[in-house]
């Protein structure tokens, strides 16, 4: 199965052959659809649109052949709120508009049509794709058979053949399997209502957190995959995930408040002055605790400070073991969650 990083790596030279070097250059084009026609005489001729089509199709087939597919959402566009929704369900698939081909009688020629918006989204959100927060795919590959045979449609669930009117009258979500969800405006608003911090949260912060806390991000992705598998078996609902996450966030906050109270009880509440500059040389303090300790600026002695630091470090590691650590860390960066914040880990 092709990874997201491999897909982006292979996509780059294809775009270069199409003389597309950046997003600005792509968006300057007026035609919303990339089109080309290949006849049987042109089978040996290189064509970057055909290369693009074949690459995305290979990428798509990797997910289609995976028995444990991630949650996938039908959404024609990827905007800011949709991206934040995906941060709660990382490693999910965003399924955009289909890729089209038309095969003429006896294979005399084939038309290829690819929505330019797909490439724009891939280029704009490449860092999120690289970090496995999202994967962008067309929701289907649609082959129109001009010799009155109808449509051959390839989705994540497999292949189907339809008469033209029958296909177009069908709801796109009907072509998806049990993990397919139509990502409507109402569904996004429901998640934001459950977690108000999302209104002020920034997807860029989430990207930075997943980069810095790779192990914790991996645990969260595994948790989400297990949740999806349980959802498949009817054991859980999306509401269960909301409740689990809320409970985990509260428990981590309580843990931090308890640790903060313990530190103050030990006397770490007086100003040390110049002594604080000796801390890095006196004890080996982990980087993630340095800012926290320096913000408190106080203790009865360096010996007591050393003891408190390592006791706190041990307890903070408990937070890192929580599979919801990434979302909790993101929540604490949101302006909606700034009130009453005491410290950042």
* Mean pLDDT, range 13-26, rounded to an integer: 86
Residue 121: the pLDDT is 92
Burial class (CB in 10 A: 0-12, 13-18, 19+), 278: exposed
Residue 295: the pLDDT is 55
200 found inside a domain: no
Model pTM greater than 0.75? yes
220 found inside a domain: yes
> Domain end: 139, 160, 188, which one?
188
- Are 184 and 153 in the same domain? yes
Residue 186: the pLDDT is 85
Task: Tell me the per-residue pLDDT of 36-92, one tens digit each, with 9 for 90 and over.
Answer: 887 766 655 568 999 999 999 999 999 887 766 666 777 767 888 999 999 998 988
Task: Tell me the per-residue pLDDT of 267-299, one tens digit each, with 9 for 90 and over.
Answer: 444 434 434 444 444 455 555 555 555 555 444
**Nearest in space to 24 (alpha carbons), one of 103, 124, 136, 126:** 124
Residue 67: the pLDDT is 66
Residue 87: the pLDDT is 92
> Domain end: 143, 160, 188, which one?
188
* Mean pLDDT, range 211-229, rounded to an integer: 89
Are 80 and 203 spatial neighbours (Cβ–Cβ below 8 Å)? yes
CA angle 261, 266, 271 (to 5 degrees): 95
**Nearest in space to 152 (alpha carbons), one of 140, 139, 161, 165:** 161
- Are 216 and 314 in the same domain? yes
- Are 33 and 177 in the same domain? yes
Question: Backbone phi, then psi, for 101, in 5-degree steps?
Answer: -135, 150
User: Does residue 339 carry a pLDDT above 80?
Assistant: no
Residue 272: the pLDDT is 41
- Are 242 and 173 in the same domain? no
- Are 35 and 171 in the same domain? yes
- Are 95 and 33 in the same domain? yes
Full strand arrangement of the beta sheet holding 141-145:
33-39, 109-115, 99-103, 141-145, 150-155, 158-162
Residue 167: the pLDDT is 67
> Domain end: 188, 221, 255, which one?
188
- Are 87 and 235 in the same domain? no
- Are 17 and 125 in the same domain? yes
197 found inside a domain: no
Among 111-125, 144-158, 271-285, the least confident range = 271-285
Give how far the C-alpha of residue 125 lies from the chain's centroid of Cα atoms, to the nearest Å: 10
* Domain count along the chain: 2
Domain that holds residue 53: 4-188
* Mean pLDDT, range 325-345, rounded to an integer: 70
* Mean pLDDT, range 1-11, rounded to an integer: 95
* Mean pLDDT, range 297-311, rounded to an integer: 50
194 found inside a domain: no
CA atoms within 13 A on the CB side of 203: 21
* Mean pLDDT, range 170-196, rounded to an integer: 75
Residue 310: the pLDDT is 52
Q: How far apart are CA 181 and CA 73, in angstroms?
A: 5
Q: Is 272 helix (H, G, I), strand (E, B) or coil?
A: coil
Q: Which residue has the higher pLDDT, 180 or 112?
A: 112
89 found inside a domain: yes
Residue 270: the pLDDT is 42
- Are 183 and 230 in the same domain? no
- Are 272 and 163 in the same domain? no
* Mean pLDDT, range 242-246, rounded to an integer: 89
Q: Which residue has the higher pLDDT, 209 or 171?
A: 209
157 found inside a domain: yes
Are 155 and 232 spatial neighbours (Cβ–Cβ below 8 Å)? no
- Are 72 and 179 in the same domain? yes
203 found inside a domain: no
Confidence of residue 10 (pLDDT cuts 50, 70, 90): very high
Among 49-63, 100-114, 261-275, 319-333, the least confident range = 261-275
* Mean pLDDT, range 6-22, rounded to an integer: 92
Residue 297: the pLDDT is 45
Find residue 99's DSSP bridge partners.
Answer: 141
- Are 83 and 216 in the same domain? no
User: Does residue 308 carry a pLDDT above 60?
Assistant: no
344 found inside a domain: no
Q: How far apart are CA 31 and CA 48, in angstroms?
A: 17
User: Does residue 215 carry a pLDDT above 70?
Assistant: yes
Residue 344: the pLDDT is 37
Residue 220: the pLDDT is 94
């Amino acid at each position: 199965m092709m990874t997201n990083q491999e897909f982006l790596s292979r996509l780059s030279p294809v775009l270069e052959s199409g003389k597309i070097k950046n997003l600005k250059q792509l968006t300057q084009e007026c035609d919303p659809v990339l089109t080309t026609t290949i006849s049987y005489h042109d089978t040996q001729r290189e064509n970057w649109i055909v290369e693009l089509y074949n690459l995305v199709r290979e990428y798509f087939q990797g997910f289609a052949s995976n028995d444990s597919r991630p949650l996938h959402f039908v959404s024609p566009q990827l905007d800011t709120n949709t991206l934040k929704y995906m941060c709660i369900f990382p490693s999910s698939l965003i399924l955009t508009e289909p890729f089209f081909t038309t095969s003429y009688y006896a294979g005399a020629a084939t038309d290829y049509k690819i929505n330019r918006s797909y490439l724009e989204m891939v280029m704009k959100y490449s860092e999120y794709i690289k970090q496995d927060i999202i994967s962008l795919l067309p929701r289907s590959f649609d082959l129109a058979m001009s010799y009155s045979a109808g449509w051959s449609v390839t989705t994540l669930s497999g292949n189907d053949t339809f008469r033209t009117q029958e296909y177009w009258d069908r709801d796109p979500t009907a072509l998806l399997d049990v993990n397919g969800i139509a990502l409507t405006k109402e569904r996004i608003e429901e998640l934001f209502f459950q977690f108000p911090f999302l209104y002020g949260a920034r997807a860029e912060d989430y990207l930075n957190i997943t980069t810095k806390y790779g192990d914790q991000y991996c645990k969260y992705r595994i948790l989400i995959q297990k949740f999806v598998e349980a959802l498949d078996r009817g054991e859980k609902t999306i509401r269960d995930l909301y409740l689990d996450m809320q409970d985990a966030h509260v428990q981590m906050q309580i843990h931090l408040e308890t640790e903060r109270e313990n530190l103050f009880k030990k006397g770490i509440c007086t100003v040390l002055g110049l002594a604080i500059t000796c801390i890095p040389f006196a004890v080996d303090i982990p980087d993630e605790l340095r800012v926290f300790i320096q913000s408190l600026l106080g203790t009865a002695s360096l010996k007591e400070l050393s003891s408190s630091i390592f006791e706190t470090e041990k307890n903070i590691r408990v937070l890192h073991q929580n599979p919801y650590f990434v979302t909790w860390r993101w929540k604490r960066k949101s302006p909606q969650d700034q009130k009453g914040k005491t410290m950042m880990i």
